């Protein structure tokens, strides 16, 4: 088996990182919070600076607080005060700063709406 260099972004538990380490991979995690596990390397900082490193795989769990449809009743206020756009911008950093096109699991990736995403992608502002 080939060992992969893996970044697990936005993960403070260490569970995913540790599972890859146990399988023989070189995995590191990054989160603003300290890791609850001491098994592997954990960067306690903003992940953006690590995205352009040479990773074989990046698994990310960006916060969905301002994007999830479960909070749709608050979208208007979040748009007005910029929280929703900040969440979109952070998510899109993973798309723009990685060397390979991202693979997004649809059941986990929740965006405002497919039509909004299409308009944004075709606008040239991305």
Q: What is the mean pLDDT of residues 31-45?
A: 94
pLDDT tens digits along 70-83? 888 999 999 999 99
Is the pLDDT confidence value at 122 over 80?
no
pLDDT tens digits along 8-29? 999 999 999 999 999 999 999 9
**Sign of the CA dihedral running 80, 86, 91, 97:** positive
Share of the chain above pLDDT 70, in %: 78
Instruction: Check residue 40 and give its pLDDT.
Output: 92
Instruction: Check residue 79 and give its pLDDT.
Output: 94
The pLDDT-based confidence of 100 (bands split at 50, 70, 90) is: low
What pTM was computed for the model?
0.75
Is the pLDDT confidence value at 91 over 70?
yes
Chain Cα centroid distance, residue 62: 4
In the chain, what are the domain boundaries?
1-61, 64-126
Instruction: Check residue 57 and give its pLDDT.
Output: 87
């Amino acid at each position: 088996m080939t060992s992969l260099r893996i970044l697990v972004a936005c993960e403070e538990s260490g569970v995913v990182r540790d599972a890859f380490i146990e399988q023989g991979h070189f995995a590191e995690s990054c989160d603003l919070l300290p890791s609850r596990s001491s098994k592997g390397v954990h960067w306690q900082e903003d992940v953006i600076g690590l995205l352009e490193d040479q990773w074989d795989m990046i698994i990310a769990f960006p916060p969905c607080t301002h994007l999830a449809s479960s909070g749709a009743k608050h979208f208007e206020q979040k748009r007005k005060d910029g929280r929703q756009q900040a969440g979109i911008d952070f998510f899109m950093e993973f798309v723009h700063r990685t060397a390979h096109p991202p693979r997004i699991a649809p059941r986990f990736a929740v965006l405002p709406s497919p039509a909004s995403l299409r308009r944004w992608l075709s606008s040239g502002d991305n």
